[in-house]
Amino acid sequence: MAGSQSIEQLSAVLELFTEQHGLVTVDDIMAALGLTRSTGYRTVRALAETGLIDRVSDEGYVLGPRILELYRQLQTGNPLLAVARPLMMALAAESAKGTAVLLCRSYRDQVMCLHQEMTYGPQEPVSYQVGKPMPLYAGSSSLVVLAALPRPRLQRLYERDAALIAKAGLAKSSEEFFRALKEIRKAGSRVSRGEVDKGRIGISAPFVQGDLGIIGCLSIVLSEAHASDMDISRARLQVVAAADDITRQLAGGERQKAAGVAVKRKAQK
Amino acid sequence: MAGSQSIEQLSAVLELFTEQHGLVTVDDIMAALGLTRSTGYRTVRALAETGLIDRVSDEGYVLGPRILELYRQLQTGNPLLAVARPLMMALAAESAKGTAVLLCRSYRDQVMCLHQEMTYGPQEPVSYQVGKPMPLYAGSSSLVVLAALPRPRLQRLYERDAALIAKAGLAKSSEEFFRALKEIRKAGSRVSRGEVDKGRIGISAPFVQGDLGIIGCLSIVLSEAHASDMDISRARLQVVAAADDITRQLAGGERQKAAGVAVKRKAQK
DNA sequence: TGTTTAAATACCAATATTTGGTACTGTAAC
DNA sequence: GTTACAGTACCAAATATTGGTATTTAAACA
């Protein structure tokens, strides 16, 4: 049961809920998926019973409380977060006011922030918000993740996004692109100033999750106004150490696998 | 497409991910839903493609990044949150350090916190965490929500949960139960001390969402050590005013409905 | 390096679920 | 009271899902 087609359909319903358009009517759903009345209502009712969507008066449906419940289960049950959170809290505790610590990962040719730890006190905004997919080609977080992706995937990305990549000021040719990424890879970390948010400095280092192609990074985001060069290089050391720690712990957590061999399977396709 | 049965199945898969057991194997899923190998793998693959679940090395699957994306869309698109958040921020801004402001609602015979605003500074813990279903029979938030539920539903709840209700010290008989709730309803707010978290005082007031049976509440949670009686009565006034404001704004937001008639349809079933 | 074991996928006819037309109900507007 | 409309019930026809088995792939082993 629950064949792949119905799951796709369900996913299509959930996709109708966007940031701008949070309220979806049954008619919207029927129209978008090409369903008849009966089927439309039935689908919506079934979804509402699971709590994934939620009826709001006569106007339509919004995403439901079950989403929050799942969110919480992800927060508590996800091994990456379990490993990363204490490290992030430690980093935040050692950092100056107005600093943000971010955990991001690759997600569908984009980068998504999974978790943030903020130091006390007022914060300048950070565009990388939890759950918001961000472009791959700007910002220290995106770039270290990008640089860590396997070559064939980068190839495809460049072919598709050459224009975007040029526009982001990252590279004007395929050669330049690969060279730039190679340098980031070699450096093992990346600092960018005001690339995404004016007045912010991002400092990021990558990690790998398990034998699979899940690539992520840890970032420290400083306020440009208050950060000295020494602060930046200190943050860089910290973030690299913490990211390596994540890689190690995630690999170590995989049961018996005592040997440090790792990474055999091909990453993504 | 996406018939109700497949949606149930999908929901059943998501239910396997719990706080304690965040990592689920394909075998777990096949066993839990009684699927054969082929179907099990297919289902899992389809779900992974939507991003709802996410493969973590060889060990199995965890809830995936799509959950975070949906979480964010709920945060930005949900009209209740849109209305409540500014009010909550205002309340938090006016409150003493260590205060938490909570938005909760009824959810499947439980109460779930949808959002929190904390004042700056260290916080004693609050059990009502976002996305965590809480029992209906203790704590000011739960009780004001409970008291606002329609009578027939209360009847069924009492029949089912008489033992729980007695154990929570709420009522030893059906009469006492309804009388206690009636008083809460009449008071329009509720204060409870250390009922859920030691050292915390909860102050809650209910609101209704639209013509439907969605009942929620706004709560201010103070630290028992620092709150004077005056602080408490001030908070009570604030929380009642803000909750009423939510009710009003949610009703007003429903287009033309200029008349203040409202609430015709029966609440839940 | 070659062999064994296990995990995961491809395939396709049988099956069970989904589907959509119409008819029906209750509620709100007129 | 009547009309319009959102939402549901029903059931035979159509379709997607299912589950054996065979096959592929990759890791573990010797």
Residue B181: what are its φ and ψ, rounded to 5°? -70, -35
* Residue B255: pLDDT over 60: no
Provide, in whole angstroms, the distance separating residue B149's CA from nucleotide D3's C1': 35
Q: What is the pLDDT of residue A233?
A: 97
Q: What sign does the CA torsion over B90, B95, B97, B100 have?
A: negative
Best probe of the A interface among B18, B52, B73, by most A CBs < 10 A, is B73
What is the pLDDT confidence band of residue A170, given thresholds at 50, 70 and 90? Answer: very high
A194 class by beta-carbon count within 10 Å (0-12 exposed, 13-18 middle, 19+ buried): exposed
pLDDT (tens digit, 9 = 90+) per residue, B191-244? 999 999 999 999 999 999 876 678 999 999 999 999 999 999 999 999 999 999
Please tell me if residue A256 touches chain B, with a CB cutoff of 8 Å.
Answer: no
Instruction: Indicate the range of A180-189, B14-23, B112-121, B257-266 predicted with least confidence.
Output: B257-266
* Residue B259: pLDDT over 60: no
CB A146 within 8 A of CB A182: no
B222 class by beta-carbon count within 10 Å (0-12 exposed, 13-18 middle, 19+ buried): buried
Per DSSP, what are the bridge partners of residue B25? none
Taking residues A111-131, report their average pLDDT: 93
Alpha helices in A199-264 (DSSP H): 229-252
Percent of chain B with pLDDT over 90: 78
Taking residues A116-138, report their average pLDDT: 93
What is the pLDDT confidence band of residue A101, given thresholds at 50, 70 and 90? Answer: very high
**What percent of chain B is helix, strand and coil (3-state, nearest 5)?**
45, 20, 35
Helix axes A4-15, B4-15, angle to 10 degrees: 80
pLDDT (tens digit, 9 = 90+) per residue, B59-97? 789 999 999 999 999 999 998 999 999 999 999 999 999
What is the pLDDT confidence band of residue A123, given thresholds at 50, 70 and 90? Answer: confident
Considering only CB atoms, B6 lies closest to which of A2, A17, A210, namely A2
B39 class by beta-carbon count within 10 Å (0-12 exposed, 13-18 middle, 19+ buried): middle
Q: How many angstroms separate the CA of residue A135 from the nearest CA in chain B?
A: 15
Pairwise pLDDT comparison (B127 vs A1), residue with the higher score: B127
Per DSSP, what are the bridge partners of residue A63? A53
Provide, in whole angstroms, the distance separating residue B45's CA from nucleotide C2's C1': 33
Which tokens go with A154? Answer: 């980068």
Q: What is the pLDDT of residue A85?
A: 97
Q: Which one-letter DSSP state was computed for residue A149?
A: S
Nearest to A87 by CA among A226, A215, A176, A220: A220
Number of H helices, E strands in chain B: 9, 8
Considering only CB atoms, A68 lies closest to which of B71, B79, B210, namely B71
| Strand D contact residues in chain A (69-108), C-beta within 7 Å | none
Number of other CB atoms surrounding residue A261 within 10 Å:
9
Contact B63 A47 (CB under 8 A): no
Contact B67 A63 (CB under 8 A): no
Task: Classify strands A214-223 and A100-107 as parallel, antiparallel or unpaired.
Answer: antiparallel
Distances (CA, A) of B1 to A36, A62, A134, A238: 10, 21, 32, 51
**What percent of chain A is helix, strand and coil (3-state, nearest 5)?**
45, 20, 35
* Residue B265: pLDDT over 50: no
Q: How many angstroms separate the CA of residue B173 from the nearest CA in chain A?
A: 32
Nearest to B219 by CA among B196, B186, B248, B253: B196
What is the set of domains in chain A, with CATH numbers? 4-68 (1.10.10.10), 78-252 (3.30.450.40)
Contact A56 B23 (CB under 8 A): no
Taking residues A169-196, report their average pLDDT: 97
- Give residue for tokens 């179907």: B39
For residue B248, give every residue at least 6 positions away whose Cβ sits within 8 Å of its Cβ, in sequence order, or none.
Answer: none
Please tell me if residue A21 touches chain B, with a CB cutoff of 8 Å.
Answer: yes
Instruction: Indicate the range of A55-64, A175-184, B139-148, B168-177 predicted with least confidence.
Output: A55-64
A8 class by beta-carbon count within 10 Å (0-12 exposed, 13-18 middle, 19+ buried): middle
- B212: chain A residues, CB-CB within 8 Å: 55-57
Whether B6 CB is under 7 Å from strand C:
yes
Provide, in whole angstroms, the distance separating residue A45's CA from nucleotide D26's C1': 43
CB A202 within 8 A of CB A247: no
Instruction: Indicate the range of A244-248, A258-262, B237-241 predicted with least confidence.
Output: A258-262
Please tell me if residue A262 touches chain B, with a CB cutoff of 8 Å.
Answer: no
CB B200 within 8 A of CB B224: yes
Provide, in whole angstroms, the distance separating residue A59's CA from nucleotide C29's C1': 17
Taking residues A105-114, report their average pLDDT: 96
- Type of residue numbered A192: S
Q: What is the pLDDT of residue B109?
A: 94
- B33: chain A residues, CB-CB within 8 Å: 1
What is the pLDDT confidence band of residue A253, given thresholds at 50, 70 and 90? Answer: low
pLDDT (tens digit, 9 = 90+) per residue, A74-95? 999 998 999 999 999 999 999 9
What is the pLDDT confidence band of residue A209, given thresholds at 50, 70 and 90? Answer: confident
Taking residues A28-47, report their average pLDDT: 94
Q: What is the pLDDT of residue A269?
A: 31
Q: Reading across the β-sheet that carries B200-209, which strands appear in turn?
A: B133-134, B110-118, B100-107, B214-223, B200-209, B190-193
Characterize A56-67 residue by residue with b for buried, 16 or more Cβ atoms within 10 angstroms of its Cβ, and e for exposed.
bbeebbbbbbbb
Characterize A16-46 residue by residue with b for buried, 16 or more Cβ atoms within 10 angstroms of its Cβ, and e for exposed.
bbeeeebbbebebbbeebebeeebbebbbeb
Q: Which helix (H) or strand (E) holds A206?
A: strand A200-209
Which residue's CA is nearest to the C1' of nucleotide C16? Answer: A1
> What is the total residue count of chain A?
269
What is the pLDDT confidence band of residue B158, given thresholds at 50, 70 and 90? Answer: very high
Contact A255 B76 (CB under 8 A): no
Q: Which bases in strand C are touched by protein, i.e. have an atom under 7 Å from a CB?
A: 7-11, 17-22, 27-28
Contact A43 B2 (CB under 8 A): yes
Distances (CA, A) of A154 to A109, A175, A176: 10, 12, 13
CB B222 within 8 A of CB A66: no
Nearest to A68 by CA among B126, B95, B128, B6: B128
Q: What is the pLDDT of residue B5?
A: 80
Nearest nucleotide (C1') to alpha carbon of B60? C7
Interface of A with B in 212-231 (CB under 8 A): 212, 214
Instruction: Indicate the range of A192-201, B203-212, B257-266 predicted with least confidence.
Output: B257-266
Instruction: Indicate the range of A13-22, A132-141, B133-142, B175-184 predicted with least confidence.
Output: A13-22
- Type of residue numbered B74: L
Taking residues A171-181, report their average pLDDT: 97
Q: Which bases in strand D are touched by protein, i.e. have an atom under 7 Å from a CB?
A: 6-10, 16-21, 26-28
CB A29 within 8 A of CB A13: yes
- B133: chain A residues, CB-CB within 8 Å: 69
Q: Which helix (H) or strand (E) holds B117?
A: strand B110-118
* Residue A258: pLDDT over 80: no
Contact B112 A65 (CB under 8 A): yes
CB B205 within 8 A of CB B243: yes
Whether A41 CB is under 7 Å from strand D:
yes
Whether B259 CB is under 7 Å from strand D:
no
Q: What is the pLDDT of residue A138?
A: 96
Nearest to A218 by CA among A103, A99, A116, A89: A103
Q: Which one-letter DSSP state was computed for residue A24?
A: B
Q: What is the pLDDT of residue A255?
A: 37
Contact A1 B214 (CB under 8 A): no
Provide, in whole angstroms, the distance separating residue A113's CA from nucleotide D27's C1': 33
* Residue B264: pLDDT over 90: no
Instruction: Indicate the range of A92-106, B115-129, B226-240 predicted with least confidence.
Output: B115-129
Instruction: Please tell me the distance from the alpha carbon of residue A112 to that of residue B202, in angstroms, as a whole number.
Output: 36
Nearest-Cα residue of chain B relative to residue A211: B57
What is the pLDDT confidence band of residue B257, given thresholds at 50, 70 and 90? Answer: very low
